[in-house]
Amino acid sequence: MKFDIPAGARQVLQTLTAAGHEAYLVGGCVRDLLRGVEPHDWDICTSALPEETESCFAGQRIIETGLKHGTVTVLMEGKPYEITTYRTEGPYSDRRRPDYVRFVPNLREDLARRDFTMNAIAMDLDGNLRDPFGGAEDIKCGLIRCVGEPDQRFQEDGLRVMRALRFGAAFGYAIEERTARAVHENRAMLDRVAAERINVELRKLLVGPNAGDVLRQYPDVFCRFWPELEPLAALEQHNPWHCWGGWEHTIRALEAAPADVTLRLAMLLHDIGKPACKSTDEQGIDHFYGHPAVSAKLADEMLRALKFDNKTRGRVVLLVERHDAQLPPRSQVIRRWLNRLGPGAFFQLLEVKRADNMGQALEKVKNCLAELDVINSKAEQILAEGQCFTLKDLTVNGWDVVSAGIEPGPEVGQVLNGLLEQVLSGNVPNERSALLKLLNCKSMNSPK
Ligand code: ATP
Ligand code: MG
């Protein structure tokens, strides 16, 4: 079969083979071609030693950062191509990189060190496959299967536990039975994996179309690196709003959220504080008073532990903290929220609230969902009309306040905020003449 292979990759393979070396496309790009998906990068493996590869591309732009591990990166038509000498790997005892790599003379050994059969296929320029572990067949059947003995492979590098789940979430493939059992049994290997590596896989997993099923089937794996999830995974909630337990509600809410890392993390963590806040009244109904604040604090700690960047962490914590906020669908209130959060976070909060509702008893939340639609359109209207909701939207500024006789200093800000408050409440229009008039009254009344 012929595949669409970019000119740069073709040139790399041709250059290496013309010099008498073996060279193949390998790994993710071959897998994606066979899945019928456009690859996002093109990795190449070769029998050439790194210095032989370098001499093949003398005169081209070469990046040597991966040299110790046998990788030479060549820039072709502005795109980087990683060319890696056939190799095997030692264990990952520093939790990040293999202790050693050893160059090997044949392709099969190189393919054997790879994690899953679908990732252990090589392809030449004519589309011929070298597929000693039956990866193409597994792709056809939608199966994730370890190359070799699953227990051993997960023990060599615990990250593979997360990679199995990530590919399951992203492709909707099932994890083959023995591999699945080994995932559960070897989850403790994640303790030996650097947080940054888990983070990379978790992000990809959460935005996968099948993330919900993976969370359903492997809660034990998630609880291994985030033990704070354990009480939530076991939480029952007897409450008319909730037809599901804590874990199923969390999963349904996550599935209902758009495939965006921040929103998916917010859904995964929004109720994490519920178990600690649970109380049961005389009627046997469970309540979770104050859980958003507790959830936000826990979410912050969990995201720090997994080395999420400050921007993602800050936004997720904000959304978790506010996920239960009351939002009456009135323009006045919406302008205040737009002011408090900014439009980006505000629209995300609406997504979070919608997703949270979708994970509850639908009969009960129909009205809430309709109300969220109203809020959404009103907020869009406020933005489209350029209505005032921040200090910089006001038709007067600090100079006007000073000209009205207020001493430069903190009082200027207070006066401006007072004017904004009046405009947000709808008491005064955001018109310069009206605001100046108000200012002059204020300055006459302000103590000198
Ligand atoms: P993606 O589409 O996300 O890039 P990928 O399979 O290409 O998926 P990479 O991390 O780019 O993932 O790795 C490239 C190849 O290297 C994989 O296809 C696999 O053959 C091999 N590989 C990557 N990580 C591991 C690992 N932890 N253990 C064994 N083999 C691995
Ligand atoms: Mg890749």
Percent of the chain with pLDDT over 90: 86
Task: Name the architecture of domain 391-445.
Answer: Orthogonal Bundle (1.10)
Give the residue, out of 24, 113, 114, with the most ligand 1 atoms within 8 A of its beta carbon, to mutate for a pocket test: 114
Whose Cα sits closest to atom 3 in ligand 1? Answer: 28
pLDDT per position as a tens digit, 230-249:
999 999 988 887 888 999 99
Cβ neighbors of 228 (< 8 A, separation 6 or more) are 272, 298, 301, 302
pLDDT per position as a tens digit, 188-208:
999 999 999 999 999 999 999
| CA 28 to ligand 2 center in whole angstroms | 5
For residue 120, which atom of ligand 1 is closest to its CA? 20
For range 162-181, the mean pLDDT:
98
99: confidence class by pLDDT, cuts 50, 70, 90:
confident
Cβ neighbors of 137 (< 8 A, separation 6 or more) are none
| CA 114 to ligand 2 center in whole angstroms | 12
Give the residue, out of 87, 119, 197, with the most ligand 1 atoms within 8 A of its beta carbon, to mutate for a pocket test: 119
pLDDT per position as a tens digit, 115-136:
999 999 999 999 999 999 999 9
**C-beta of 27 in contact with ligand 1 (< 6 A):** yes
* Helix then strand then coil, % of the chain, to nearest 5: 55, 10, 35
For residue 157, which atom of ligand 1 is closest to its CA? 27
- How far apart are alpha carbons 91 and 93 in whole angstroms? 6
**C-beta of 119 in contact with ligand 1 (< 6 A):** yes
Whose Cα sits closest to atom 15 in ligand 1? Answer: 27
**C-beta of 28 in contact with ligand 1 (< 6 A):** yes
pLDDT per position as a tens digit, 282-331:
999 989 899 999 999 999 999 999 999 999 999 999 999 999 999 999 99
For range 384-396, the mean pLDDT:
95
379: confidence class by pLDDT, cuts 50, 70, 90:
very high
444: confidence class by pLDDT, cuts 50, 70, 90:
low
| CA 254 to ligand 1 center in whole angstroms | 26
**C-beta of 148 in contact with ligand 1 (< 6 A):** no
Residue with tokens 């995932």: 183
Q: Choose which CATH entry (3.40.640.10, 3.30.460.10, 3.40.50.150, 3.30.110.60) describes domain 7-134.
A: 3.30.460.10
Structure-block tokens of residue 447: 């103590």
pLDDT per position as a tens digit, 2-17:
789 999 999 999 999 9
Whole-number pLDDT of residue 1: 64
CATH of domain 142-225: 1.10.110.30
Domain boundaries, the chain: 7-134, 142-225, 391-445
For residue 166, which atom of ligand 1 is closest to its CA? 3
Give the residue, out of 84, 115, 133, 152, with the most ligand 1 atoms within 8 A of its beta carbon, to mutate for a pocket test: 115
**C-beta of 300 in contact with ligand 1 (< 6 A):** no
Question: In this structure, how many other beta carbons lie within 10 angstroms of the beta carbon of residue 188?
Answer: 12
For residue 32, which atom of ligand 1 is closest to its CA? 2
Whole-number pLDDT of residue 445: 61
**C-beta of 71 in contact with ligand 1 (< 6 A):** no
Ligand nearest to the CA of 189: 1
pLDDT per position as a tens digit, 80-97:
999 999 999 888 888 778
DSSP state of 2: -
Whole-number pLDDT of residue 3: 87
Percent of the chain with pLDDT over 70: 98
446: confidence class by pLDDT, cuts 50, 70, 90:
low
Whole-number pLDDT of residue 16: 98
- How far apart are alpha carbons 302 and 195 in whole angstroms? 11
CA dihedral 317, 322, 323, 326 (to 10 degrees): 180
- How far apart are alpha carbons 308 and 302 in whole angstroms? 9
Decide: helix, strand or coil at residue 290: coil
| CA 428 to ligand 1 center in whole angstroms | 60
C-alpha gyration radius of the chain: 29
The answer to whether 7-134 and 391-445 have equal CATH topology is no
pLDDT per position as a tens digit, 250-261:
999 999 999 999
Average pLDDT over the chain reads 94
Ligand nearest to the CA of 157: 1
| CA 369 to ligand 2 center in whole angstroms | 39
Ligand nearest to the CA of 28: 1
Whole-number pLDDT of residue 448: 45
| CA 383 to ligand 2 center in whole angstroms | 40
C-alpha distances out from residue 75 to 55, 65, 266, 325, Å: 14, 13, 39, 51
